[in-house]
């Protein structure tokens, strides 16, 4: 198989972690005789510094022309502390999602037994948890019209959904539920929001086409609570852009650390694969970041973008083997982890490569 893969490291720890996602893809290519051709492009703060634009045209063109994208992270504290900045790194990420039509963001909460103790939740609460989030990614209050009046006394963002936007992501989620335990929970705030009421209506309609899937509707506040109380009760979770952003970060604690979670954004065009963690500027360049989320993003790419299930499984297994052998980065270590088992980014990445043989 021959594929063109674009690497967009982005900001902060992005460069360090995508290095290892790429190494793993290289290893898989070698082993299974695929040809993966890599190119690289800039986005976010890095791109603003270089060109003034968080998503340069060249990056977008390369993205559209590639078969899959491995992305690192975005964001910089500089802009966070300056709410009036007009050009911001995140605009690059939002624009590429929109331009590539990446309306479905899949976030599997994959729990490795070895990390049961890394979580702040009790092991008995966690054991057996396996959730697949479908977060809508190109609509909602993220993309609605933004306003600020001239004297800075008022600001607004339009939260909005079109029926077809709910329809297409719902179908993807129901299809996935069919291949799993046939349970789907749709999360909204239909007791307050008109957008959520439209969302719920559409999901109710589509549910009729999937009578074999048990469908539940839950309010976002309740879902945020249940996710801590009893994560096992969830299987496929379908939700809007903003609620999905919040719930999936919260759910990262089920997996022990944000540093473990990969995501796949898919839709009309080239698929986009990225860790759910951010740019973590506080540890950038210090060889401290956990490369596993980027490596697992590469596994999702193999599986979802290229249909290479065996290769994907092998990568996930190598991550499991690395953890089983006791290797940890700082974020997933605990008080009992021996100091000589705690590795930096490079050493952890190299371990996974070893297990890929």
**245 classed as catalytic:** yes
Among residues 245, 209, 203, 208, which one has the least CA distance to residue 218?
203
Q: Which two tokens stand for residue 62?
A: 């390369």
Residue 249 annotated as catalytic: yes
172 lines the binding site for a copy of itself (CB under 8 A): no
Q: Is 189 a catalytic residue?
A: yes
Neighbours of 307 (CB within 10 A): 10
CA dihedral sign of residues 229, 231, 236, 238? positive
Residue 328 per-residue DSSP state: B
Residues engaged in binding ligand IPM (CB under 6 A): 74-75, 90, 93, 191-192, 221, 245, 276
Q: Spot the catalytic one: 142, 210, 303, 331.
A: 142
Tell me which residue has its CB nearest to ligand IPM. Answer: 90
The torsion angles phi and psi of 86, rounded to 5 degrees, stand at: -85, -35
Among 33, 35, 83, 179, binds a copy of itself (CB under 8 A): 83
d(CA 263, CA 94): 15
Residue 192 engages a copy of itself in binding (rule: CB under 8 A): yes
Q: Of 3, 27, 189, 288, which one is the catalytic site residue?
A: 189
Let me know: does 8 contact 59? Beta carbons within 8 Å.
yes
Q: In what order do the strands lie in the sheet with 214-219?
A: 35-40, 2-10, 68-73, 271-275, 262-266, 104-109, 131-136, 236-239, 183-188, 214-219
Is 171 flagged in the annotation as binding? Answer: no
Q: Based on the shown chain and the rule CB under 8 A, indicate whether residue 153 belongs to the binding site for a copy of itself.
A: yes
Determine, following the binding rule CB under 8 A, whether residue 147 of this chain makes contact with a copy of itself: yes
Pick one of 84, 150, 208, 212: the residue that binds a copy of itself (CB under 8 A).
84
Active site positions, annotated:
142, 189, 221, 245, 249
Residues that bind a copy of itself (CB under 8 A): 75, 79-81, 83-84, 88, 90, 94, 120-122, 125, 141-142, 144, 146-148, 152-164, 189-201, 204, 217, 219-222, 224-225, 227-230, 242-243, 245-250, 252-253, 258, 278
């Amino acid at each position: 198989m021959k594929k063109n893969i674009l690497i967009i490291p982005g900001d902060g720890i992005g460069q360090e972690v995508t290095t290892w996602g790429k190494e793993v893809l290289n290893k898989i290519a070698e082993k299974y005789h695929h040809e993966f051709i890599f190119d690289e492009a800039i986005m976010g703060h890095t791109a603003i510094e270089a060109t003034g634009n968080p998503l340069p045209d060249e990056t977008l063109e390369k993205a559209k022309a590639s078969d899959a994208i491995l992305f690192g992270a975005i964001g910089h504290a500089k802009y966070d502390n300056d709410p009036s900045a007009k050009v911001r790194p995140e605009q690059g990420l939002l624009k590429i999602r929109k331009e590539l039509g990446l309306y479905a963001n899949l976030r599997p909460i994959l729990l490795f037994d070895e990390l049961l103790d890394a979580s702040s939740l009790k092991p008995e609460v966690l054991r057996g948890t396996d959730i697949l989030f479908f977060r809508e990614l190109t609509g909602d209050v993220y993309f609605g019209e933004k306003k600020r009046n001239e004297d800075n006394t008022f600001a607004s963002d339009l939260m909005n959904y079109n029926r077809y936007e709910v329809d297409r992501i719902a179908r993807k989620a129901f299809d996935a539920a069919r291949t799993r335990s046939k349970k789907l929970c749709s999360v909204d705030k239909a007791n307050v929001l008109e957008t959520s009421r439209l969302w719920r209506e559409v999901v109710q309609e589509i549910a009729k086409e999937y009578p074999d899937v048990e469908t539940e509707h839950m309010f976002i506040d309740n879902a945020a609570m249940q996710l801590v109380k009893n994560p096992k009760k969830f299987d496929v979770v379908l939700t809007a852009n903003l609620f999905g952003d919040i719930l999936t970060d919260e759910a990262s604690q089920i997996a022990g650390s944000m540093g473990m979670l990969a995501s796949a954004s898919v839709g009309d065009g080239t698929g986009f694969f990225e860790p759910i963690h951010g740019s973590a500027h506080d540890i950038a360049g210090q060889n401290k970041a956990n490369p596993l989320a980027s490596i697992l993003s590469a596994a999702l790419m193999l599986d979802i973008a290229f249909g290479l299930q065996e290769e994907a499984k092998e990568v996930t297994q190598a991550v499991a083997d690395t953890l089983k052998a006791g290797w940890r980065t700082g974020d997933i270590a605990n008080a009992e982890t021996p100091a000589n088992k705690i590795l930096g980014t490079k050493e952890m990445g190299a371990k996974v490569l070893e297990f890929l043989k």
